[in-house]
Amino acid sequence: MNSKLTNRNLGKVVEFIFVCQASMRGFTVSMPITDTKYDAIIERDCRLYKVQIRKLTRFQRNCFRASVYRIISRQFKGVRKRYSYSPSKKDFDIFAAYLEDESCFYLIPFEEIKTKSGIVVGKANVGRYSIYKNAWHLIG
């Protein structure tokens, strides 16, 4: 992807890649127009799933990571503070982590990451989250 994109714009690009891939697989996709704790809602067979979408970033040669927790920046009386919080089940149902090098999503149920601050995946299809690589069949 274009390295001149801001992090926010890069996130929007990844969200639209998710929308395209989900739509091509027969899901109905909705995106909120206001700030929410999820990035998209997908629907199949009258079941709705809230999805948090993140891009995996390289941190070692063949390893990539994404944070699960959210960082919120607030300004109060001229002082900007950053807060982080761990998500709860009501925030999202599926964590969709995009690996640009392979144009795929890791579709991880909330229950698998509820106590994690982040995930790490490798390109060798091994590790804890490898079963969730392009696991669209697990949804719906």
In this prediction, residue 65 carries a pLDDT of 76
Question: Is the pLDDT at 4 greater than 80, yes or no?
Answer: no
In this prediction, residue 67 carries a pLDDT of 74
Q: Does any domain span residue 101?
A: yes
Average pLDDT over residues 107-129: 82
Q: Does any domain span residue 77?
A: yes
Give the chain's domain count: 1
Q: Does any domain span residue 54?
A: yes
**pLDDT tens digits for 56-105?**
887 776 778 787 765 455 566 666 666 566 778 888 999 999 988 889 99
Q: Does any domain span residue 2?
A: no
Q: Are 81 and 39 in contact (CB under 8 A)?
A: no
**Whose structure tokens read 């809602």?**
41
Domain that holds residue 22: 7-138
Q: Does any domain span residue 23?
A: yes
In this prediction, residue 73 carries a pLDDT of 52
CATH number, domain with residue 47: 3.40.1350.10
Question: Is the pLDDT at 108 greater than 80, yes or no?
Answer: yes
**pLDDT tens digits for 14-50?**
999 999 999 999 999 999 998 888 999 999 999 999 9
Sign of the Cα pseudo-torsion (5, 62, 64, 12, in order): positive
Q: Does any domain span residue 31?
A: yes
Quick one: residue 44, left, alpha or beta (phi over 0 = left, psi -120 to 50 = alpha)? beta
Reported pTM: 0.83
- Report the alpha-carbon distance of residue 54 to residue 10 in Å, rounded: 10
Q: Does any domain span residue 121?
A: yes
Q: Does any domain span residue 1?
A: no
In this prediction, residue 139 carries a pLDDT of 87
In this prediction, residue 63 carries a pLDDT of 72
